[in-house]
Structure 1
């Protein structure tokens, strides 16, 4: 026991030091020092940025004690850029956390990125301001701050929405329980319109979970939607009278030269159909050229087209299949787009390379491959008559299915016996000999 005494004393000292440090780290609204009359609570909305992760915008909450001249910004969008981050994200297990920072420094940072900075001062009673301040101060503590990120259901903006709703006694949720303006997929297409390629990839990877009708409450996974809803929200105050949730709106910075997010998703279905028909038709044209001329160029170009198809559609198809079977990204499970592109599509890469170097067997195998892929795509199209196959993937069907049919037809033509100029040339050669 005497030997344990120094160790116990040391442990007790560390515990007391940690408790003291924690108390010192709490802001005045977390310790009870702040008075409600001196507090101001702001909902902050940051506009979209340049990289994919910032296309959706961002949001935070700010607590300010005007008497003590203290303020902190609470950001629920923190995550670690370490070597395990990509793996955790791929598995659907990415952890985010809330952290606090200087509001002025944060505003300067977003301004340097040419992103909107807008503040809405919440019209809360002194008691509600104290409650919100205490909630945020406690939420940022190490034992409370982490959460499992879900893009549509639990993200850096839904956490703000839920905190505001908690303080106003559930009035926010109740008021926003009506039908939303559009589905989550349509919102996604709106915000990803700035990058058509990435927009199409995200559209491909997500299943019908984001095609179901949603409420306005669910639409508030987006910063702009939460800002819009807060601006029109009326809450019942302590006197029993309705009053606006937002007392004042301030635009600190407006982005210069940045395109506005479209109010509706772009109608790119017809464009994708034309592109799909053009690509599939080009493959048939190459096959006809090769049959008539016997030249190497059309065979090489058709092989290259197979390689491109295998890379552009096969790799996402393989990734989608793996995400369904091995991850917790439920939004990718049972995805109808696997009828259009799947792990089989990747085989077009090595077979296309072999075809470019003149392999007859590769051409035959490619024909069988594209015949199966085209058939699968047609099965997926026919199954759309059933209620359970309700995924909004018509644009991808219009884009990918004509390519698969065109590739199947082209490889069938390429494998058939030569005719026309090529066969006449062969006949002439035999007669001459």
Structure 2
């Protein structure tokens, strides 16, 4: 406990130091000296979900003038009004913040995140332009922007700043080593390290995430941006030269423990097998009981309403056209509570037929996930079969039932 408290105080001190630095920002933009450098600093993934894909900052450092400014486009404030509503809706404004790299690096080291620096092979004029561009972005009227995870984030803004500084002298093609969809890029980062987060994101994002990311779009991941910088070139008076002059590791993270054995794959396949065995027992013994179905399909319906909210009620840009809503059908909640062992609504079997068709359509979309949806679909198909089979034995109206034998009451 004592270690945690000390760590918290350390973080508070860092935040206060950054705020103090920002209040003493330069009133006028100074000229950089020939000893100055411009660098892309790439930070490895952290344990928190928001930091799980890494981070990028641009760093301007000049030992002669004392300039030490690291430009961070990934800043948001918990003091923002209606913070959680804006965060969930995708309307939370992000902004550019500036502080010495050492202050930010201490925070990343505390979070055990690797840090590497790529010193850029820029002329003094290009470094000055980059400095000017970043400082202009840092003006109060410019520093806020509408964050988009795939299309406009702390990483994608790095290439925009570089292009503004270098103009036609930059030969930059983005990340060209692999062609993957946005969903596949997320899986590549999160499937092994954060399987539950990966599963949740797979469910939340829709059809736009299955588009193949272009070479430029793939740099929404900081590691890809670093590789794109490494492959880029700049035109010089004598020809071309690599954009990155030197790469150095500033900090290497310690290995983190794995996610454990209770991954979504293990949990849902275990549940799938148990539900299959339980359903077989109910059918074999002619037991009619819908308690499991009320729990299962209430959860499915709730998941569907959440997906529907993400589709129509948010501005994330990647949660629309989510075909998981075919199996996570919202109207299961409240329809499932009309199901009863004592009577059956005349319309319920028509609803089951319609949902069965949706499940059939959903199976074609299942392979876009990390196959965790497969046991979920298996459970739903088995229970729909059981409900339909049981309802065929219950006449419309009331019934008495015991160990599988049903009699119609005469009113």
Both proteins in one fold, TM over 0.5: yes
Q: Residue 245 in 1 paired to residue 257 in 2?
A: no
Q: Which of 94, 99, 106 is equivalent to 1:108? A: 106
Residue aligning to 1:5? none
In the TM superposition, residue 172 of structure 1 has moved relative to its aligned partner by 5.7
Which has the larger Rg?
Answer: 1
Contact 1:171 1:235 in 2 (8 A): yes
CA 1:80 to 1:286, structure 2 compared with 1: closer, same or farther past 3 Å? Answer: farther
Between the two proteins, the alignment pairs up a number of residues equal to 374
- Structure 1 counterpart SS, 2:216: helix
Q: Summarize the alignment of residues 11-410 of structure 1 with structure 2, pairs less than 5 Å apart.
A: 26-27=25-26, 31-81=28-78, 82-169=80-167, 174-176=172-174, 180-193=178-191, 194-237=193-236, 239-258=237-256, 278=273, 280-288=275-283, 291=286, 299=289, 303-304=291-292, 306-311=294-299, 313-347=300-334, 350=337, 360-361=342-343, 370-381=352-363, 392=368, 395=371, 398-410=374-386
CA 1:107 to 1:99, structure 2 compared with 1: closer, same or farther past 3 Å? Answer: same
Instruction: Provide the C-alpha distance between the structure 2 equivalents of 1:187 and 1:397, rounded to a whole number of angstroms.
Output: 19
Contact 1:122 1:247 in 2 (8 A): yes
In the TM superposition, residue 286 of structure 1 has moved relative to its aligned partner by 4.6
Contact 2:175 2:224 in 1 (8 A): no
Instruction: Provide the C-alpha distance between the structure 2 equivalents of 1:260 and 1:117, rounded to a whole number of angstroms.
Output: 21
Q: Which of 376, 388, 392 is equivalent to 1:412? A: 388
Instruction: Provide the C-alpha distance between the structure 2 equivalents of 1:287 and 1:189, rounded to a whole number of angstroms.
Output: 38
Give TM-score scaled by structure 1 length. Answer: 0.75
Residue aligning to 1:8? none
Instruction: Provide the C-alpha distance between the structure 1 equivalents of 2:196 and 2:352, rounded to a whole number of angstroms.
Output: 23
Residue aligning to 2:403? 422
In the TM superposition, residue 375 of structure 1 has moved relative to its aligned partner by 2.3
Contact 1:79 1:97 in 2 (8 A): yes
CA 1:50 to 1:202, structure 2 compared with 1: closer, same or farther past 3 Å? Answer: same
In the TM superposition, residue 331 of structure 1 has moved relative to its aligned partner by 1.6
Contact 1:60 1:160 in 2 (8 A): yes
Contact 1:370 1:404 in 2 (8 A): no
Contact 2:89 2:315 in 1 (8 A): yes
In the TM superposition, residue 176 of structure 1 has moved relative to its aligned partner by 2.6
Instruction: Provide the C-alpha distance between the structure 1 equivalents of 2:327 and 2:169, rounded to a whole number of angstroms.
Output: 45
Give TM-score scaled by structure 2 length. Answer: 0.79
Unmatched segments (≥5 aa) in structure 2:
1-22, 395-401
Instruction: Provide the C-alpha distance between the structure 1 equivalents of 2:225 and 2:251, rounded to a whole number of angstroms.
Output: 19
More helix by percentage:
1
| Alignment RMSD (CA, Å) | 3.5
In the TM superposition, residue 87 of structure 1 has moved relative to its aligned partner by 1.4
CA 1:270 to 1:324, structure 2 compared with 1: closer, same or farther past 3 Å? Answer: closer
- Structure 1 counterpart SS, 2:34: helix
Task: Summarize deviations over 1:204-252 as a string: whole Å, max 9, x none.
Answer: 2222212222222111011111111212222212x14211111111211
Residue aligning to 2:11? none
Contact 1:26 1:137 in 2 (8 A): no
Instruction: Provide the C-alpha distance between the structure 2 equivalents of 1:50 and 1:99, rounded to a whole number of angstroms.
Output: 22
